[in-house]
Amino acid sequence: MEQERLAALHEYRLRDTPPESELRAVLRVAATIAGVPSASLNLIDERWQYQLIRIGGAPVDCARSDSMCGVQFECGGFVHVPDTRLDPLYQHNPWVTGALGRLRFYASAPLITPRGHALGTLCVFDDEPHELGDRQRAQLTDLAGIVIAFFERRRQAWRNAELAASAQVKQQWSEILVDTVDTAVIACDQNYRVTLWNRAAREWHGRSGEDDQTRTDIARRFGLFEPDGVTPIPDDQLPLQVALRDGVVITGREMVIRPPDGREVHVLVNASPLPGPDGEPVGAVLAQSDVTADRLRSRLIEEARERLAAANVELERSNADLTNFAAAVGHDLIAPLAAVGGYLELLAGEGYPEASAGSAEVARMRDLIDGLLADALAARSSGSAADRR
C-alpha cells in the first residue's frame, strides 16, 4: 500500500515543477479562513516531509519522523489540535518543543487522491493556541479537495502531453516505415482527400497526390490504366473510391501506372475502407505491389511458346515435303530398277551368267530405296507425335 502511495506521489511530479503561483493563493485563503498567519502544503514521501508552498515563512523540509503532519495524515480525516502542549501525540514533537519550532496551534486537511492515496496535507498553524469552528474545518477540507483537483489537472496535462509526444513519435516512425517499403501506400479521408502518399507511390506515379485538390479525371492525371495499358480507368472504378464508397475490401485488382516519363509499372492493388469508432468508414487505404517483372516474364514465355509453335508447324511442313520427295524419288528409282531387273532375268534365262550378278545388285538397290522410304515415314511420324505433345 505504501509503495502505491509513493508511486502516486511521484506521478504528480510536484517537486519537479511546483505550481507555486496558483497554490499560494489557495494558502492565503486557507490562512484567512483559519485566522492564522501561516499555512503550507506538505508532501510526505518514505523519509521526508517537503513544504511545497508556505506562507508566513520560508519552506522548511524535515524528516518524516519529525513531521507533525506525518503523524495522522494517512487516517483520511481532518486533524485539529488547539494547543499542541496539551496533546500527547504532538507535545513532544520537535516542532513543538523548540528543536524545530514552537507551534501551539496545528490543524491539517489530508490531500487524498481520487484513488485514495494520501500525498500530504494542507496545514495551518500558529505559535499561539487557537481553535477552529466546524464551518472553518469544512472550508479547509474543501480547499484540500481543490488542491487535489488542481494536482489532477496538472497530472492529466502531463499525461496528455506525453501521449501526444508519443503519438507524434509513433506517427513519425510509421511514416518512416511506410516510406521504406517497396509497396505504394495511399490513403484518403472520407472526402477522398489524400492523407498519405509514400515514397514508392511518388516514384511510380512521378508525382505526389497529397496536394491534389481535383477529384475528377484522376486516371488521366495520374496515368492509371487497365491491364492492357491503353484503357483509362473511370474515376468511379478506382480501387480507393470503390473501397470507401461501397465499404468493401478489394484484392488483386490489376492495373498499369504510366507516369509522365513514359515507363510502365504493372501493379496489383489491394484496397480497404478505414472504419471509425462507430464502424462507419472515415477513409480508405490501398497498397500497390509492383508485378512488372512478373508480367514481362509471362510475356516472354508466351512469345517463346508462340515461336515454338511456329517452328513445329514449319517442321511438320518440312517433314511432309521430305516424305513426299522421298516417295517421288523412290517411285522414280524403283520403276526403272524393275525394268532392269526384268531384262536381267531374261538374259540369265538365255544363258548369260553375268546377268545373275546384275540381278543381285538390282535387289540390293531396291533394299536401299525401301530403307530410305521407311526412314522418311518414320521421321514424319516422329515429328507429328512431338507436335501433338
pLDDT of residue 68: 97
Q: How many domains does the chain have?
A: 3
pLDDT at 121: 97
243: buried, middle or exposed (CB in 10 Å: 19+, 13-18, 0-12)? buried
**95/105 Cα distance (integer angstroms):** 11
Helical packing angle, 354-388 and 292-349, nearest 10°: 160
Q: Which residues contact 167 (CB under 8 A, 6 or more apart)?
A: none
Give 123 or 306, the one with higher predicted confidence: 123
Pair (47, 146) in one structural domain: yes
Percent of all residues in the chain with a pLDDT value above 90, rounded to a whole number: 44
In a domain, 172, yes or no: no
Residue from 261, 256, 260 nearest 221 by CA: 260
pLDDT over 90 (residue 134): yes
Q: Worst-scoring range by mean pLDDT, 27-41, 83-97, 112-126, 303-317?
A: 303-317
pLDDT at 167: 62
- Do 237 and 268 sit in the same domain of this protein? yes
Predicted local confidence at residue 90, as pLDDT: 97
Return the CATH number at 202: 3.30.450.20
What pLDDT score does 131 carry?
Answer: 96
Could you tell me if 17 and 62 lie in one domain? yes
pLDDT value of residue 192: 85
What global pTM score does this model have? 0.50
SS (HEC) of 155-190:
HHHHHHHHHHHHHHHHHHHHHHHHHHCCCEEEEEEC
The span from the CA of 288 to the CA of 176, in Å, is 18
Same domain for 145 and 187? no
Centre a 10 Å sphere on the Cβ of residue 330 and count the other Cβ atoms it contains. Answer: 16
Task: Report residue 363 as a C-alpha cell.
Answer: 535387289
3-class secondary structure per residue, 96-156 = HHCCCCCCCEEEEEEEECCCCCEEEEEEEEECCCCCCCHHHHHHHHHHHHHHHHHHHHHHH
> Where does the pLDDT of residue 19 fall: very low under 50, low under 70, confident under 90, or very high at 90 and above?
low
Residue 323 makes CB contacts below 8 A (sequence gap 6+) with 376, 377, 379, 380
Question: Which pLDDT band holds residue 231 (cuts at 50, 70, 90)?
Answer: very high
Domain match, 17 and 143 both: yes
Give me the domain span that covers residue 132.
Answer: 2-160
Does 233 have pLDDT greater than 90? yes
- 173 in a domain, yes or no? no
Residues 150, 201, single domain; the answer is no
CA–CA distance, 178 with 171 (Å, rounded to integer):
10
Residue 129 belongs to domain with CATH number: 3.30.450.40
Q: Could you tell me if residue 166 is inside a domain?
A: no
Pick the last residue of a domain from 112, 131, 160: 160
| Cell numbers describing residue 371 | 530403307
In which element (H, E) is residue 284 found? strand 281-290
In terms of domains, do 127 and 258 share one? no
Give the per-residue pLDDT at 331.
65
Q: Do 185 and 271 touch, CB atoms closer than 8 A?
A: no
340-357 average pLDDT score: 70
247/326 same-domain check = no
Domain assignment present for 6 = yes
Strands 38-44 and 79-81: unpaired
Cell matching residue 277: 469508432
Asked whether residue 132 falls in the same domain as residue 246, the answer is no
Q: pLDDT confidence of 79, banded at 50, 70, 90?
A: very high
51 and 72 in one domain?
yes
Percent of the chain with pLDDT over 70: 85
Q: 78-84, long-range: CB within 8 Å, 24+ apart, which pairs?
A: 78/107, 78/108, 78/109, 78/110, 78/137, 78/140, 78/141, 79/106, 79/107, 79/108, 79/121, 80/107, 80/131, 80/132, 80/137, 81/105, 81/106, 81/107, 82/129, 82/130, 82/131, 82/132, 83/129
Lowest-pLDDT choice from 6-10, 38-42, 294-298 = 294-298
DSSP secondary structure letter of residue 38 = E
Note whether 102 and 126 are within 8 A (CB). Answer: no
350, pLDDT greater than 60: yes
| Range name among 25-34, 175-184, 257-266 with the lowest pLDDT average | 175-184
Choosing from 252, 274, 290, the residue where a domain stops is 290
Task: Please give the span between the terminal C-alpha atoms of the chain, in angstroms, as a whole number.
Answer: 84
What lies within 8 Å, CB to CB, of 316 at 6+ separation is: 383, 384, 387
pLDDT of 387 > 70? The answer is: no
pLDDT at 73 (0 to 100): 93
In a domain, 167, yes or no: no
Max CA separation in the chain (angstroms) = 174
Strand partners, 3: none
- At residue 154, the pLDDT reads 84
Mean pLDDT of 265-285: 90
Given 160, 193, 210, the domain boundary residue is 160
Cβ within 8 Å of residue 107, ≥6 positions away: 34, 78, 79, 80, 81, 123, 124, 125, 132, 137, 140
In a domain, residue 283? The reply is yes
More confident residue, 130 or 324: 130
- State residue 388's pLDDT score: 53
pLDDT of residue 379: 63
Q: Is residue 170 part of a domain?
A: no
Mean pLDDT lowest for which of 203-207, 246-250, 268-272, 372-376?
372-376
pLDDT of residue 56: 94
27 and 153 in a common domain: yes
Residues 7 and 139 in one domain: yes
Residue 220 falls inside a structural domain: yes
Question: Percent helix, strand and coil across the chain, each rounded to 5?
Answer: 50, 20, 25
> Band of the pLDDT at 63, cuts 50, 70, 90?
very high
Please give the backbone phi and psi of residue 49, each rounded to the nearest 5 degrees, phi first: -110, 125
DSSP 12: T
